[in-house]
Structure formats: structure tokens, C-alpha cells
Structure 1
Amino acid sequence: MSIPASHRPAREWLLLVIALLIVAGVITPLWQIMGSPESRDELAARWTPERLGRLLLGFEQVLCYVCAVWAILILQSRYREVLRQRRAFGLELLPTEEGARILPEDARPLARKVEQVTAGRPFVLANMIRLGLGKFAISKSATDVAEVVRNQADVELSRLITGMSTVHYLAWAIPAIGFVGTVRGLGGAFGANDPDIAEFTRQAKDQLKIAFDCTLVALVLSLGLMYFVHMVQRAEETLVTDAQQYCQEHLLLRLYDPAAEHAGV
């Protein structure tokens, strides 16, 4: 049985590796030429374990980690659901023999077969087929079935988009929390009022580090999370598209439409 598959995208991970190699091949010699040993030693001395701890373990940073992990767990659950949904393409839901036709009187038995094969488990593909067969049994019109399948695909896609609302909120909340930490750090820097200039400068620098650390961590987490959001959304949209293609090949093109047959005579 042929399983529908969308056009394969470019091998993005391979292209990413090639891009990294190209950039590394250009940057590494320049860095070795222009970067003095003193500057490299300075960089290593600046990022001590204590400095990294302040960068990564602030209050706002921890809140960002909670939001990111929560969102990733939701995305993992949704991606596993996409994999489960794809198992429906391997089930014998419709006749796939060459030249097979579906008559109006075959629609209800096929719909019952779909329910039996799926054993009541919710599948996007099975639901589209079941609704299409139900419409064909009543109207006996392939055009009506195509409209039902298209409308159901829109409904499934809208449901998937709505289900991502929490993840989108978390992806927005992470940079917002980082901005809160930034404001807190800037407020502390400008609010330092120690009469000793050296102590004032030290306090202001510490607060500014808090501000910029929060921003840096939040933006990095947000960039990573948005990539995973994009990947899961694409997997879900591809699932619906492949389900439509399956219905097109194995349902719509095999329907025997008496009205269309008589009109063509």
C-alpha cells in the first residue's frame, strides 16, 4: 500500500553542518591571526565558575528554565502524538488495489470497517475518511465528499493551532521574564547611592551584570524554544496535508459518482 508523503524538504541538518564548516573555515584563521594570546587568556580568566554561576543561576533565569522545560515537555508530547497519528497510514482503512472503485452502497460498510480497524482510537486520517464516507452514503456526490474532507482538514488544522496556545505563551513569557530581570538590574544600578565612589561603581556594575545576564539567558532560551515550536508545527501541518493527500488518492479518486457518470454520457 502506498503511504502518502509530502515532498521531502531539503536536508536541513546536513545544510546546517555545511554552513558551520564554511563559517568555521573562514573565522578560525582570522581569529588566530587577529586574536592575541593575551586576549584569549583574558577571556578565559573572565568566565570563571563564579561568573558563570551568576550568569546562569539568577532568579529570573530559573523562571525562564521552568517555562522552557514546561514548553519542551508539551512539544514532546505533541510530537509523540504526531508519530502515533502517522500509524494510521499503515492501516488498511480503504481499498488500495489498482482499479478499485467505491460505490455509494459500499460507503457505510467501509465506514464501519474504519471504526473497527482503529478500535475507537482517535486518528485524524480515520476521522476524515469516516466523515467523507458518511457524506457519500447520503449524497452520492464526490464533490460533496471533497468539500467535507477539505472542511475537516481545516478543522483539524485549527484544532492543532489552538492547542499550541500555551506553548506560544511560554515562548513569549521567557523574554518577558528576562526583561523583568533587566529592569530590576537597571533599577538597582541607578538606585545605588553609596557615597564611596569605588563602592558605588562596584554595586552599579553588579546590578548591570544582573540586567544583561537575564537578557542574554532569556533570549538564548527563546531562540532555542522557537526552533522546536517551528519543528513541531511543521510536523503537525504535514500530517494534515498527508491525510488530505491520502483521501485524495484512495477515497476521492475512487468514488463512483452516478451523477457525474450520467452527465458525461
Structure 2
Amino acid sequence: MKKSFPISFESIYQLFSLIVVAILVHALYVGLIRPKADAILAKQEALVAEDKSYVTKRSIYVLIRDYEQEACFILLFWALAIIAYKGAMTIKHRALLRMDLIPLAEGMRILPEDTRDWSRKIQALAPRQREALLPRALLAALQRFGLTGNIQDASASTHAYCASEGERLESELSMVRYI
């Protein structure tokens, strides 16, 4: 039996994207923004010392040079990386909607004793495809229908499964909203 890694790929992606974004933004601040802001402030101080009526001009480098703005940029780019990952996963899952996971002819019925065969076809998908919502929901519906023989039970289990998946996705995106 294949052992799975206890941490999901998405969690590892989020951690490393935070580290990479923090390094890149901090390097930009140390190498470009803070030195330019310090030079602009020194120049403005010299001009004010010469002429007391001199009005200092605003500079974007001076405005964003503080640590709070650096942290905001880090969180911004991290949230964008998370959203990009979610978007890529959505595009991959959309491809499953075009696939005929249960190839039934027009008017053909599925009986409770046939559900095991149809379930095997879904279980034969690649592991990444099997983890998507549609195959998992179909598999849950087929298993429930196979056990109970009642289509309403299968429908209720699929509805509950999709609702819980929606709540899980909502809670995952709450971090991005918080940022």
C-alpha cells in the first residue's frame, strides 16, 4: 500500500511561496527601495536646510519604505500566489466536467447491483483526477445507491457532500480574504 505524505502539496506550496515572496520583496526593499528613499530624504533635507520655504515633493520610495508597507507587499504577493494556485486547480478540475465519467447510452438505467462496475471506472482515474470534487461526489452517490437502492438517498448524500466541500473551500479562501 502506498503511503501518502502527511502534508498536502497545497500546504507545501503555500509555505514555500510565502518564503520566496518574503525573500524577493525584502531583497527589493534592501537593494532598491530603502536606499533610494534614504537618498531622496537626504537630498530633501539639504534643500530644506538651504531654503526654509522649499516644499518637499512626495516620492513613492519614501511612502513605501517602512516595514509595514513591506509586510503588506509580502502578504499581497502571497495572496496572489495562493489565488493563482486555486485558479490553476480550478482549470484542471474543469477538464473533468467535459469527460464522460459514467458513459451511459441514452435511456440506459443504472441498477444498484451495477454500481460496483461504474465505481471501478471512476476509481481507475489518475490519482489527481480522483481527488477532484466531481469524481468523489459521483463515487459517493454510486456507493450510497448501491447500498440502499434508493435514488433519493444517493441524491441527499451527494448534496451533503457538495455542501461540505463548499464549506471547506470557503474556509480555505477565508485566509485570503483576511489578508
- Normalised TM-score (structure 1): 0.43
Partner SS state of residue 108, structure 2: coil
With over 3 angstroms needed to count, the CA separation of the structure-2 counterparts of 1:61 and 1:97, relative to structure 1, is same
Structure number with greater Rg is 1
Residues 146-185 of structure 1 aligned to structure 2 (within 5 Å): 146-170=155-179
Match for residue 143 of structure 1 among 148, 152, 155: 152
Q: Which has the higher helix share?
A: 1
Would you identify which runs of 4 or more consecutive aligned residues in structure 1 move more than 3 Å?
Answer: none
Match for residue 127 of structure 2 among 120, 123, 136: 120
Q: CA deviation at 1:167?
A: 1.4
Q: Distance in 2 between matches of 1:77 and 1:114?
A: 25
Task: Report Cα offsets for 1:39-72 as digits up to 9, x if no partner.
Answer: xxxxxxx995x62221233322111101111111
Aligned to 2:79: 71
Q: CA deviation at 1:115?
A: 0.8
Residues 81-230 of structure 1 aligned to structure 2 (within 5 Å): 81-116=89-124, 118-121=125-128, 122-170=131-179
Partner SS state of residue 110, structure 1: helix
Partner SS state of residue 72, structure 2: helix
Q: Distance in 1 between matches of 2:72 and 2:127?
A: 40
Q: CA deviation at 1:123?
A: 1.1
Identity %: 27
Partner SS state of residue 106, structure 2: coil
Partner SS state of residue 105, structure 2: coil
Q: Distance in 2 between matches of 1:47 and 1:167?
A: 37
Q: Distance in 2 between matches of 1:88 and 1:52?
A: 46
Report the count of equivalent residues: 123
Q: CA deviation at 1:97?
A: 3.0
With over 3 angstroms needed to count, the CA separation of the structure-2 counterparts of 1:69 and 1:47, relative to structure 1, is farther
Q: Distance in 1 between matches of 2:163 and 2:127?
A: 22
Corresponding position: 1:80 with 2:88? yes
Bigger RCO (CA 8 Å, 6+ sep): 1
Aligned to 2:69: 61
Aligned to 1:216: none
Q: Distance in 2 between matches of 1:158 and 1:167?
A: 15
- Normalised TM-score (structure 2): 0.63
Q: Distance in 1 between matches of 2:119 and 2:150?
A: 16
User: Unaligned stretches of 5+ in structure 2?
Assistant: 1-54
